Structure 1
Amino acid sequence: MARRREPQTSGRERRRSPACLSGLVVACALAAGLAARPAAAGNRETNPLSNEAALAGGAVTALGRDTGAIYYNPAGLGAVRRTQFNLSTQAAQFRARIVPYAAVADLPNGSRDAATLSSLQGLVMPSSLAVTRHVGRGVTLGVGYFAPDYDYYDYSASLRGAGGGTEYDARIQVDGWIYRYHAGPAIGWQPHPRFRIGATLFGTYGWQREEMRMWIDAASGTADARTDATRTVDFDNKRSIFGGEAVIGLQWEFVKNVHLGLTFRTPRFVAFEVHRSYLLSSSNIDRPNGDDEYKFEFDDSPSPSRRGRVAPMRLTMGIAYALPKRRGWVSGEMDFSPGLRPKGTDINIRPIWNVRAGARLRTAERLYFGIGVFSDRDDQVHTSAFPQFRINYYGVTTGVEFFSPVRLGKGERARSIVFSTCLAVRYSYGRGSAAQIIFDLRDAPSGRVGYEIGTVDRVAFHLFAGHLGMGTYF
């Protein structure tokens, strides 16, 4: 096995060969690809943001009336007459990801070595915190914080062996954090018992941190005449994005017990961005004739700040049927967003649609049971950086919500305080493609080693999540 060697300087002058320079160009291209887009998939809402959404698979546009209406459809606030306070948490979320052939090595004898990437990540996070208050004349105000997108990843792949007279050791490790927060006020108004409208104005904040480390070491020849080529890349990227978006919606009971819901979500805009990154790259070639080569490069030049649209508009339409005697409801909905590719940016989003259907049924006086199905399709056009994914999720959700009223004294404004607790589970199955790193060792005997980004299809992901929601109504 080839022993990894640290690049060393010597008394004689090192020549910068075209092979070495081209390798560094490839390294810079890979790092730029990592910085261009997050390494996670471009799914819209991986987390349910309210109790009703957790129970019904997110199908709440037409009849959602808890604090999640601030995010999904603020028109639902117009039907709320009691002050609400809700906290929702992804109590336990596990993401199992398997990528066959995530890393491959092309060897001098024409064969190929491959490694499978597998990862199981556990996450616990607060997904929403919101409060609403009825102020009279059919008007309800609300304010909330929501985390629709959150991910942590730590992936590594390694290949080690011998083939075609070359011993090799190639490794890559990528880890990072991605999350997006929405926070802002909302208003819902019910001018008629069967009609409601509302609007929400969100400020948004996104954070991305990525670190990538890669090593390639290849030794060819005999013990007395060996060519040893080593290449290392270290990349660090930080990005903070500040922006906003708005949501406008309506709910209309156009036929008795049949409700229509419509929402328009504006494109998400970036007003300000802070972006810092650096790239450290080195290569070293030791030849038996003493014609060695060494190259070192450090780049911390800032990237241009992003401005303008980063996500397209979205239209959602839902239909729900309210069961008589307040026994719950069943609902279905569909959303659509067009593609987006602003000039002068790296953003390339395809048109997508998603569907959701669910039910929230009262099975006892103080107990509701929910079940739902949903899709969460990726909006990326292609994968361009390791370990970027392009996954379409399809899933099911189920759970219960129970209420505990506490009667108040005669002098209180309300007759009782009601405490609610929601427990739900969610499973998503994802299929799609993932980025692949290809280590090119075909010319390792001459000291030339490189790498490029490819694509692996038929990737399978699994996402398990538990939802814990607590609310107070008074």
Structure 2
Amino acid sequence: TTVEQSTQIGGGSDVSSFSVSSLAESTGVGLRLGAGLQWDVVAGLVLGVGLATPSARIFSRYVEDALVSVDTPSTRLFDAGGVEEQRFGWEWEHPFRARLGLAYQFDEDGWISLDGDILTPLANADLQVDRRIDFNLRLGGIVGITPSWALGAGIFTDRSGETSPLASDFYGGTLGVRYRNERALDPQKEEEDRLVFETTVALRYAYGSGSASTLIIDVDDAGEIYLSDGVTSFTAHEIGLHVGGALRF
């Protein structure tokens, strides 16, 4: 991950500037087990259940290099530093997860589904993990408009479950269309195998709110810069465009 930020204060010959550039690399090895099953309750109605054990981190390595530059009318500072950490052991990092889903197909090109998951609390001070019990829900469906075109939509939650002051939760929805083109390998035979080409274009929107860390810069009358950390609330609007394709035969 590369992070760069710079700030200028003042104008003319009294400009003070502060910039930070950092490059971080994180590597980890862990273990998690999962299992699931699917049951056809009645024609067109399917129930799915999935379970995942808490995940354990066995090895992790974190390396960060940073450059700091401060330039004021009275001071010019350039500093470089780095951090390297390695951890071995058995440390719980992600909680137990249970997922339950239900899908109903009401015609050849139409279905609706609802699924949710629940995560148990987990606390690990060494990894700065402190999670409360939490859940997320997703509801979506697709309906055929013509033999070639289908319309899909859905809503979802993306809650963090973290008790940290820097946690944030998102809620959103999606809307998309799918185009299908079927080609028979031998047009003279109705039962001949077919190639099915599909293209999907979808728009995703999510609204989020929470808190984020801040860097507070103070400059005194002599032009000296003082740095301190803080926390501020924020709201976010995420918009994404997704394009996908599939080939089935």
Common fold by TM > 0.5:
yes
Larger % of helix: which?
A: 1
Contact 1:170 1:439 in 2 (8 A): no
What are the equivalent positions in structure 2 for 1:348-359 lying under 5 Å apart? Answer: 348-359=130-141
Determine the structure 2 residue equivalent to 1:116: none
Alpha-carbon distance in structure 2 between the residues aligned to 1:349 and 1:403: 43
Q: CA–CA distance in 1 between the matches of 2:163 and 2:8?
A: 29
TM superposition score normalised by structure 2: 0.78
What's the offset of the Cα at 1:428? 1.2
Deviation per residue, 1:104-143 (Å, 9 max, x gap): xxxxxxxxxxxxxxxxxxxxxxxxxxxxxxxxxxxxxxxx
Change (3 A) 1:397 1:285: closer
Q: Which amino acid aligns with 1:171?
A: F
Question: Is the strand fraction higher in 1 or 2?
Answer: 2
> 1:137-148 counterparts in 2 under 5 A?
none
The answer on 1:335 being equivalent to 2:127 is no
Q: What amino acid maps onto 1:270 in structure 2?
A: R
Structure-1 residue corresponding to 2:181: 404
Cα deviation, 1:153-206, whole Å, max 9, x if unaligned, reads 8663525139xxxx67353456xxxxxxxxxxxxxxxxxxxxxxxxxxxxxxxx
Residue 310 of structure 1 aligns with which residue? 93
Task: Output the CA distance in 1 between the equivalents of 2:51 and 2:158.
Answer: 18
1:434 corresponds to 2:212: yes
Equivalent pairs, count: 242
- Which residue of 2 is the match for residue 264 of structure 1? 51
Alignment of 1:207-286 (within 5 A): 211=22, 236-278=23-65
What is the SS of the residue equivalent to 2:64? strand
SS state at 1:380 partner? coil
**Is the counterpart of residue 320 in structure 1 residue 103 in structure 2?**
yes
How far apart are 1:397 and its partner, in Å?
0.6
Q: Which amino acid in 1 is paired with 2:147?
A: E
State the Cα distance separating 1:294 from its structure 2 match: 11
Structure 2 residue identity aligned to 1:320: A
Give structure 2 stretches of 5+ with no counterpart. none
SS state of the match for residue 344, structure 1? helix
Compared with structure 1, are the counterparts of its residues 248 and 379 closer, same or farther at alpha carbon in structure 2 (3 Å cutoff)? same
Residue 60 of structure 2 contacts residue 87 of structure 2 at CA under 8 Å; is this kept in 1? yes
Instruction: Name the counterpart of 1:460.
Output: 235
User: Does the C-alpha gap of structure 1 residues 155 and 456 become closer, same or farther in structure 2, counting only changes over 3 Å?
Assistant: farther
* Residue 376 in structure 1 maps to residue 158 in structure 2: yes
Work out whether 1:394 is the aligned partner of 2:181: no
1:67-124 Cα distance to aligned partner (Å, 9 max, x none)? xxxxxxxxxxxxxxxxxxxxxxxxxxxxxxxxxxxxxxxxxxxxxxxxxxxxxxxxxx
Q: Is contact 1:260–1:318 with CA below 8 Å preserved after alignment?
A: yes
1:364 has 2:146 as partner: yes
Alignment partners' CA distance in 1, 2:247 and 2:116: 30
SS in 1 for 2:85: coil
| Whole-angstrom CA distance in 1 between matches of 2:39 and 2:30 | 31
Can you list the C-alpha shifts for 1:320-350, whole angstroms capped at 9, x where unaligned? 3221x42411122221112322253333334
**1:171, 1:342 → 2: CA distance?**
35
Identity of aligned residues (%): 24
Contact 2:19 2:69 in 1 (8 A): no
Change (3 A) 1:447 1:467: closer
Which amino acid letter does the alignment assign opposite residue 98 of structure 2?
L
* Contact kept in structure 2, 1:360 and 1:371, CA below 8 Å: yes
In the alignment, structure 1 segments of 5+ residues that lack a partner are 1-151, 175-210, 212-235, 288-292, 384-388
Q: Report whether the alignment pairs 1:425 with 2:212.
A: no
Question: Deviation per CA, 1:260-293, whole angstroms, max 9, x where unpaired?
Answer: 2211133334343332234566989999xxxxx9
Residues 285 and 432 (structure 1 numbering): CA distance in 2 closer, same or farther, change over 3 Å? closer
